[in-house]
Structure 1
Amino acid sequence: MKIDMIDYRITIKDEDKVTKVRQIVNRMTHDIDKGILKINTQVASINEFSKSHHVARETVEKAYKILHKNGYLVSVPGKGNFVGKGQTQAIKILMILNKMSPYKKEVYESFIEELGDKAHVHLEIHHYNPKIFRDIIHDNHGKYHYYAIMPHFYSGTDEQEYIEILKDISPNELVILDKRINLDGRFISVFQDFEMDIFEAMDKNAELFSKYSVITVVFPENDHHPLEITSGVKKFCELYRKRFDIISDVNKMELLAGQCFITLTEIDLARLIKKLRATNLSAGHDIGIVSFNETVFKELLEITVVSTDFSAMGRTAAKMIVGKKFKQVRNSFNFIKRASL
């Protein structure tokens, strides 16, 4: 069956740094590799493609010549051009993280381990900056089969700014990690529900919080943690009639019996422990301590931890890519009870 170029079209940008020849080659190679253009399907002639895409015949001829050379197109005398098998190759994936912390490293390493030799993964960091993110997407558009993205940006960033960037990527090439995003189309997503994860973890272990009348989230200024975390803790406090507080600096407040602190960063946890040791109060009896994200340091100090399973996030995303399962999955979340609560 012949695909009319009205039905199969690609976007060719005049302002793109990549030549029009290479844009055609990249997109058709990509679509053949992903099975969008099926093997043995007839494609448009050079003249048809030139007319429907408003590009020079010479440009299309050069692109088709490269596609023929690489086995992606096959000529049948008297009939035309047909999709070939191409070159057997691994899936090409661009992973774009907000930063490379130990936890994000877990996601990355479990992701590439699960994929094995089925894929080649290139890593970029956008450093919470939507402008850097836009440049990364622009410079790599059409070069990969999938774009695995962690869309965490500066506090105060207009959500629509990065949503518009994400819309430049075809939904069936998009893999959203860690954060839930509302987009049209069928795409892969493995996300944390920051509000409900912490609320449900605390609710299931409500007995452990019964000795504390005040629950305080240590939320540093100019930090990029999701505000939904504080919403989840506040929801728990309202349900169990506890006082809810948010502070940015644990050093500026007095520690009193009956308080439970939830820390988001390693440095704030260290400051809290140091301040606690200067008093006669004890963790798990007078003062409660819960920290986000597991480390060996917290295990050794018997600190209670709440954490998403970062390794599971990477493995799940990789399995969904290989299995072409375009759906949204909530990642598993753990509560590890220790002596500090």
Structure 2
Amino acid sequence: MYKDVLNVFENIDPKQVYILDKGFKEFKKSYSGIYQNLEKDIVSILTKQQQLLKKYKRLFLLAPDNNSSKEILDGFRKFSKSDLITCAIIDSVEIKNIKKGDAFIAVDDDQLVELVNCLRSSGFTIGKDTGVLSYHESNLKSVIGDGISTITPDYTAMGRTMAKMITSNERKVIENPFIMIDRGSF
């Protein structure tokens, strides 16, 4: 995909382009913009949340079996080397494998629904017996159960920063902040 985008960008003056959100590794040397550094973001958030992690025995990253989550997977692998908690990457959840003290990070919303249904079927209380953290904030996550905690780009900061860059004709590369919205599910 990025090669196709690069082919289009070759004919455009880099001073006329701002990149928003994706493409940090691929485009940061050539184009101004606000990027997500997904590999760094997951390590940073989990490291900052060590106190929350202490109540769990195992941490699973529930990620789709495709290339769209590569940076997140790479970051999670780096975090797992810290030995703060036993970590594993899985692409699906089975009721028989869930134990009290397990925590999950769902990258994909469909997998989040599957996970919440499995935890409910198992009789576990989310936020007490098991933990759930989901990628990317949405209004829906505030109403699932008692709310699902999320890790997400700070979209408000992203929009404000991009608007300022455009209106003042600033040309720079900025990593957008990544935040956690705690609703007690993790």
TM-score range, shorter chain: 0.7 to 0.9
TM-aligned CA distance change 1:339 to 1:266, over 3 Å: same
The aligned counterpart of 2:178 is 333
1:36-185 matches, within 5 Å, as: 153=1, 159-179=2-22, 180=24, 181-182=26-27, 185=30
TM-score (norm 2): 0.86
Give identity over the alignment, percent. 30
1:206 shift after superposition: 0.7
The 3-state SS of whatever aligns with 1:286 is coil
CA distance in 2 between partners of 1:226 and 1:266 (Å): 13
- Report the Cα distance in structure 2 between the residues aligned to 1:277 and 1:184, rounded to whole angstroms: 47
Deviations 1:271-323 (A, max 9, x none): 11111111132212221110011222322332111000223323322221121
Residues in 1 aligned to 2:28 and 2:84: alpha-carbon distance in whole angstroms: 37
Alpha-carbon contact 1:214-1:258 (below 8 Å) kept:
yes
Which of 124, 140, 147 is equivalent to 1:302?
147
Q: Are 2:112 and 1:266 aligned?
A: no
Q: Is the 8 A contact 1:251 1:271 kept in 2?
A: no
Instruction: Return the offset for 1:213.
Output: 2.5
On the 8 A contact 2:95/2:118 being kept in 1, the answer is no
For the Cα contact (< 8 Å) 1:188–1:320, is it kept in 2? no
- With over 3 angstroms needed to count, the CA separation of the structure-2 counterparts of 1:184 and 1:333, relative to structure 1, is closer
Deviation at 1:261, TM superposition (A): 0.7
Q: Do structure 1's residue 194 and structure 2's residue 38 form an aligned pair? A: yes
Structure 1 residue matching 2:81: 3-state secondary structure: helix
**Structure 1 gaps, min length 5:** 1-152, 154-158
Distance 2:28 2:102 in 1: 41
- Distance in 2 between residues matched to 1:268 and 1:164, nearest whole Å: 34
Q: Secondary structure at the match of 1:239?
A: coil
Larger Rg belongs to:
1
- 3-state SS, counterpart of residue 250 of structure 1: coil
RMSD over aligned Cα atoms? 2.1
Match of 1:290 in 2: 133
Q: 1:253 to 1:165 in 2, by over 3 A?
A: farther
Counterpart of 2:88 in structure 1 is 245
User: SS in structure 1 opposite 2:5?
Assistant: helix
Alpha-carbon distance in structure 2 between the residues aligned to 1:184 and 1:195: 18
Deviations 1:81-133 (A, max 9, x none): xxxxxxxxxxxxxxxxxxxxxxxxxxxxxxxxxxxxxxxxxxxxxxxxxxxxx
Q: Structure 2, unaligned stretches of length 5 or more?
A: none
- Which residue matches 1:84? none
Aligned residues of 2:106 and 2:133 also touching (Cα < 8 A): yes
Change (3 A) 1:240 1:337: farther
Q: After TM superposition, give the deviation of residue 211 of structure 1 in Å.
A: 2.2
1:231 aligned to which of 64, 74, 77: 74
- Corresponding residue for 2:164? 319
Q: Quote the residue 1:209 is aligned against.
A: 53
Please tell me whether the aligned partners of residues 63 and 69 of structure 2 are also in contact (alpha carbons under 8 angstroms).
no
Deviation of the 1:335 alpha carbon: 0.9
Match of 1:6 in 2: none
CA contact (8 A) 1:188 1:317 kept: no
User: For residues 270 and 199 of structure 1, do their structure 2 counterparts lie closer, same or farther at Cα, with a shift above 3 Å needed?
Assistant: same
Higher-RCO chain (CA-CA 8 Å, sequence separation at least 6)? 2
Asked if structure 1 preserves the Cα contact closer than 8 Å seen for 2:59 and 2:87, the reply is yes
